[in-house]
Amino acid sequence: METYLYAPAFERFITLLIILNAITLGCLTYSYQDHGPDSPLVQRLLAFDMAIICVFVVEIVLKIYAQGFRFFRSGWNIFDFLIVSLGFLGGSYPLTVVRSLRILRTLRIVRHVPSMKVIIESFLRALPGIGSVIMVMMLLIFIFAVIGTSLFAPVSPEYFGDLQSSAFTLFTVLTLEGWPDIAREVMPIIPGSWIFFVSYIGINSLVILNLMIAVIIQSMQKEYDEHAEEEREDILAEVRAISARLERMANSPTNK
């Protein structure tokens, strides 16, 4: 797919750096708490992290220099570029959030482990088929959130106080987590509200079932097409050979 312009040794070095960076950032979470942000250990770990990110920047700059604009044609390159760039924004965003996102650099490892790369790529290929099911689920959450807020806001302000609370509550109900508690809070006061919950869960279960099947069918069809194609080609080749032989036979006696 993509041409690497440097030696495999360099690539293995980058893989090692990514793993070292993950370990460094993992250690940082402990040292922050145990020694405080200004302790020499934290300072040294941060310096090491900075050194690694510098290598990453150099790596990407070299690759852009070597490949020019073609660099940005590979999705994995764009991903690397964005992940490494993350380390340089900061400014207006709260510092802890930006800092915590440094760990996303570990995701770069996926590109360097072939078995993981296969999973992520098959995953990304399946996304478009999933996309419209997720849109339907978001539409359902929106509709039920508006109904839920209108009906239950005075009864259960914690769960249905406003539109975004209702939407979050309905997302938790989507995972079925703790929904009976929510339902039992509302049901004694508003009769018939069980219809709201049962229909929401019923519809969503069927939509999720649909999602699963859509993805299974899609994967199987691809698998099947490849195999069936091959099988058909085998039989057709045999049959066509017979056809050609017949052709020759049909022609030869008339010529005689």
d(CA 104, CA 107) in angstroms, rounded, equals 5
- The CB-of-78 to a copy of itself minimum distance in angstroms stands at 19
State both tokens at 84: 């490494």
Our finding on whether 54 is near a copy of itself (CB under 8 A) is no
Contact positions with a copy of itself (CB under 8 A) in 77-116: 96-97, 99-101, 103-104, 106-107, 109-110, 113, 115-116
x-marked contacts with a copy of itself along 137-176 as a string, rule CB under 8 A = --x--xx--xx-xxx-x--------xx----x--xx--xx
In the complex with a copy of itself, the residue whose CB is nearer, 44 or 227, is 227
d(CA 172, CA 30) in angstroms, rounded, equals 31
Query: Residue written as tokens 């030696």?
Result: 7
- How many residues in the shown chain lie near a copy of itself by CB under 8 A? 98
Our finding on whether 240 is near a copy of itself (CB under 8 A) is yes
Angstrom CA distances, 216 to 82, 116, 118, stand at 32, 20, 17
Q: Are 123 and 218 in contact (CB under 8 A)?
A: no
Q: Are 57 and 80 in contact (CB under 8 A)?
A: no
Listing DSSP states for 177-188 in one string gives TTHHHHHHHHTT
User: Which range binds a copy of itself by CB under 8 A, 50-58, 66-74, 76-84, 122-130?
Assistant: 122-130
In the complex with a copy of itself, the residue whose CB is nearer, 58 or 139, is 139
State both tokens at 25: 């950032």
Our finding on whether 74 is near a copy of itself (CB under 8 A) is no
167: amino acid identity, one letter: A
In the complex with a copy of itself, the residue whose CB is nearer, 9 or 249, is 249
Our finding on whether 29 is near a copy of itself (CB under 8 A) is yes
Contact positions with a copy of itself (CB under 8 A) in 198-227: 198, 201, 206-207, 209-217, 219-221, 223-225, 227
Q: Are 180 and 110 in contact (CB under 8 A)?
A: no
d(CA 149, CA 166) in angstroms, rounded, equals 6
In the complex with a copy of itself, the residue whose CB is nearer, 61 or 132, is 132
User: Which range binds a copy of itself by CB under 8 A, 21-29, 42-50, 61-69, 84-92?
Assistant: 21-29
